[in-house]
Structures are given as C-alpha cells and as structure tokens.
Amino acid sequence: MGVEIDGLCKAFGGHRVLRSLDLRLADDGIYCLMAPSGTGKTTLLRIMLGLETKDAGTIRGIKPGEIAAMFQENRLCEQLTPVENVALVCPGRASRAAIRSNLELILPADCMEQPVSELSGGMKRRVALARAMNYPGKMILLDEPFTGLDKETKQRVIAYILSMRNRRIVLAATHGEEDAALLGGKKIILGEG
C-alpha cells in the first residue's frame, strides 16, 4: 500500500507553508524532497513524525512510531559514545560488537570509545545517521543527511544508507541534485504538484 498523503495543509499564523499537498510513496521507494529553503520540507517531515500538528489532510499507511528519523540537528546524547547512542534505539538483543562493526562502515574505529561531544561535526552527523538507520522503523526520514561531509565520505554514507534501508521507504530532504542522483531517489519538488 505504501504511504498516501492527501490534502495536507499547514500554516504558521497567516503564512501557508503546505498547501493541499498530495504525495504517494511506494513501498521500497527512495524519494528526495528537493524544494528551496523555507518551502516546508522540514515541516512535512515533522508532521509525519507527529511533532507538528497539521491543519488539514490525511496520512495513511504509516504511524509516527514506525518512522526512523535523522533531524537537521543531530540530537545525540553528547556524553555517550557512538555505540551507546545507537544502542539506545536498537532492539534489546543487538550486541555492542555488532553495533560497533556496523558503525565502522562509516566511522573511524578509533572514535568508538570517545564521547560524541569530542567528535567532529561530520562524525556526529554520521552517528545520527547510523542511529536512524538502526531504528527498527518501517520508513526512514532524513533531513539534510549530507551536511558537513566531503565527497568521498558522502559516497560511503550513501552506500551505507542503501545497504541498511532493507527495502524500507526512504524520504530525504536535500538541496543537492547530485546527492539525489547518487542516492537514486525520485525527486519530489514541493509546490509542483
């Protein structure tokens, strides 16, 4: 069935941000939200996550608790290590060793014992991504997942997303045409029907 969004509206005060948005997201699909800054990408993701109310419209096929998310801000526990941060969202039986080898796909091994507060911006971004990809949700929302990453790291991160998504829907807000192409995502331009 996938996810069906119909007639979604949201305004802040008199400012209409989402105007009767209709979207169809197929099971197994990868989608890139490609609208200019300030056009409501984050607002859409926040409504899907139940973090923002909608004024009108319906969302069928997914519930907020079934969605994994990487936000524009990393929202990590800064005093915990990368492994500890990811362990917080993993089902009970995931071993620390398994989480660690998963993280080593996108992070240097020698940062695993450091608190996140000591990592670089790009490393923190990757911990936040790993946490989203390891959350056992049916769908993955990524808000600007590639900020702060150099080209080579970005390619590794994209390979990681593709291998970890396990046929789940991915909806990524990004400004980069090249990023969308690397991800192989179908482009969704907000406001263009």
Ligand X SMILES: Nc1ncnc2c1ncn2[C@@H]1O[C@H](COP(=O)(O)OP(=O)(O)OP(=O)(O)O)[C@@H](O)[C@H]1O
Binding site for ligand X (CB under 6 A): 12, 17, 35, 37-43
Of 88, 188, 172, the residue nearest 135 (C-alpha): 88
Our CA dihedral for 143, 31, 43, 67, rounded to 10 degrees, sits at: -70
- H helices of 27-169, in order, are 41-48, 82-87, 96-103, 121-134, 151-164
Name which of 40 and 145 has its Cβ closer to ligand X.
40
Q: Identify which of residues 37 and 192 has a Cβ nearer to ligand X in the complex.
A: 37
Residues paired with 171 in a beta bridge: 31, 141
Taking the complex as a whole, how short is the minimal distance between the CB of residue 103 and ligand X, in angstroms? 27
CB of 97 to ligand X, least distance (A): 37
Judged by DSSP in three states, 64 sits in helix
Of 113 and 177, nearer to ligand X (C-beta) is 177
Nearer to ligand X, 42 or 102 (CB): 42
**Least distance to ligand X, CB of residue 193, Å:** 17
3 state DSSP class of 174: coil
Q: How far is the CB of 68 from ligand X (least distance, A)?
A: 18
